[in-house]
Chains A and B, each alone.
Chain A
Amino acid sequence: MRFLKRFAQDLGLGLGWRPELAHFITKQEDLAFVEVIAENLDSKGALPQPIAELRQRGVCVIPHGVTLSLGGADPISPKRVEHLARLAENLGAPLVTEHIAFVRTGGVEIGHLTPLPRTHEALDVLVDNIERAKRLLPVPLALENIATLFDWPDAEMEEWQFVTAVLERTDSLLLLDISNAYANGHNRRLDALAEVLRLPLDRLTYAHMGGGIEVDGIVHDTHGDNMLPGSVELLRRFCEVKTLPGVMLERDENFPGSAEIRGELDRIKEAIASKPACAD
């Protein structure tokens, strides 16, 4: 049974653009899209040359925000949203992306994506902020699930329910971080694939894959290591049953040589070669 996808573009294989990877990226022939950290670009000036060249080559460039703090009780900053909006226009991006998380509270920076309490009250705050943001955005917004090492007490719902509710109430799209889903599933002792399959996948735009480590039985989403085997296995099993329009690798630090990064991309390509037995 074919359902109507809400985001019609097939993105293909991608990589998180980082200055340390700029040269590597220009030499790859199979990268259909890159994602840029919105806060690292000047939305009022010209695009950095490497990005402009990628655009000329027809590579799709998607701005990825990390500091909007959509889940925070502090009202979101219109300036930050406008920055994201201008970037989307300058890049000709088909969407912008951000996170289901908060990064500051009472004006104090936490410095990292922090999970929200999975309560109806927190959901209302998140929905309100997203609706404010969407009024200022010229393109659709996709929201990403984050990895977390801890949960708030007194959760009123599971993560998949919280994510589903926010996507449906705000009519937003989904950026599915499969490595984050793997980490959270492992650390909460839940079946990660089952959790992911409960999400509204008709809203899926593309997936993230990122590296991590396992220490004392706990998975850490570091983005500074190679992808854990369990994470790649989750990607493979997902692709056996569902269509994935795009998938990209995230590497933020501890950059290896070209051959090793290429190897990571090839691991993704191999995993997504599994196709659903019939169109879904």
Chain B
Amino acid sequence: MELARALCGTGAAPGGFDPNRLALAAKALRTKRLHAAARAWPSLSRRLGKEFGPQFAIYASGTPVPPTPRQDIMNFARFLGERRKLPADFLRGAHEGKLRARLFLIWGRARAMLARASGSH
């Protein structure tokens, strides 16, 4: 619908609306989306610092707002990763987390196998 498009920045102000006020509302919407996403992953927004706002604006202008801020910030992280703009230590941390989780799983299964093997004597 026309008003929604104008508020999301993909359409002009529909007839009869004050274009300046609509522009202010659209800006408030962008700010709200940015702040909500930042709250959903505070360490990422802290890590990106001054770059967070501008990068998020580029990402957000191309995509409609998803149902939750958490989905939004995850999509943003993927967007950054694809453009090689995700901080290296974040990527490393994410990989280490997955590796750690995988090792725990392997270790847990190995322990269970050993326990069964020793129990069968």
Interface centre among B15, B16, B32 (most CB of A within 10 A): B32
A253 CA to B36 CA, complexed, in Å: 8
Q: Which residues of chain B are within 8 angstroms of A149 by Cβ–Cβ distance?
A: 21-22, 24-25, 28
Within 8 A of B (CB), among A229-255: 253-254
- In the assembled complex, the CB of A125 is this many whole angstroms from the nearest CB of chain B, namely 13
Q: Which residues of chain A are within 8 angstroms of B114 by Cβ–Cβ distance?
A: none
**Given A106-B1, A150-B22, A253-B39; A112-B17 close (CB under 8 Å):** no
Q: Which residues of chain A are within 8 angstroms of B89 by Cβ–Cβ distance?
A: none
Residue A257 interfacial (CB < 8 Å): no
Interface residues on B, range: 20 to 34
A76 CA to B62 CA, complexed, in Å: 28
Q: Determine whether the beta carbon of B16 is less than 8 Å from that of A154.
A: yes
Nearest neighbor of A154 in chain B, beta-carbon distance: B16
**Given A150-B18, A152-B17, A154-B16; A108-B4 close (CB under 8 Å):** yes
Residue A29 interfacial (CB < 8 Å): no
Within 8 A of A (CB), among B17-34: 17-18, 21-22, 24-25, 28-29, 32-33
A112 CA to B32 CA, complexed, in Å: 8
**Given A110-B8, A114-B7, A253-B35; A150-B25 close (CB under 8 Å):** yes
Q: Determine whether the beta carbon of B35 is less than 8 Å from that of A224.
A: yes
Number of A-B contacts (CB under 8 A): 58
**Given A106-B1, A110-B7, A111-B32; A153-B16 close (CB under 8 Å):** yes
Residue A105 interfacial (CB < 8 Å): yes
Q: Which residues of chain A are within 8 angstroms of B3 by Cβ–Cβ distance?
A: 105, 114, 152
A154 CA to B66 CA, complexed, in Å: 32
Q: Determine whether the beta carbon of A111 is less than 8 Å from that of B65.
A: yes
- In the assembled complex, the CB of B47 is this many whole angstroms from the nearest CB of chain A, namely 19
Q: Determine whether the beta carbon of A105 is less than 8 Å from that of B4.
A: yes
- In the assembled complex, the CB of A48 is this many whole angstroms from the nearest CB of chain B, namely 16
Q: Determine whether the beta carbon of A150 is less than 8 Å from that of B8.
A: no
- 1/0 per residue, CB under 8 A from A, across B74-113: the answer is 0000000000000000000000000000000000000000
- 1/0 per residue, CB under 8 A from A, across B54-73: the answer is 00000000001111100000
Residue A218 interfacial (CB < 8 Å): yes
- In the assembled complex, the CB of B21 is this many whole angstroms from the nearest CB of chain A, namely 4
Residue A220 interfacial (CB < 8 Å): yes
Nearest neighbor of A218 in chain B, beta-carbon distance: B24
Q: Determine whether the beta carbon of A220 is less than 8 Å from that of B35.
A: no
Residue A109 interfacial (CB < 8 Å): yes
- 1/0 per residue, CB under 8 A from B, across A108-150: the answer is 1111101000000000000000000000000000000000111
The residue from A39, A106, A150, A218 contacting B17, defined by CB atoms under 8 A apart = A150
The residue from A20, A105, A220, A254 contacting B28, defined by CB atoms under 8 A apart = A220
A152 CA to B18 CA, complexed, in Å: 9
Q: Determine whether the beta carbon of A112 is less than 8 Å from that of B29.
A: yes
- Ordered by A's residue number, 14 sampled pairs between the chains whose C-beta atoms are within 8 Å are A105-B4, A109-B66, A110-B4, A110-B7, A110-B29, A112-B28, A114-B4, A148-B25, A149-B21, A149-B22, A152-B3, A153-B15, A253-B36, A254-B35
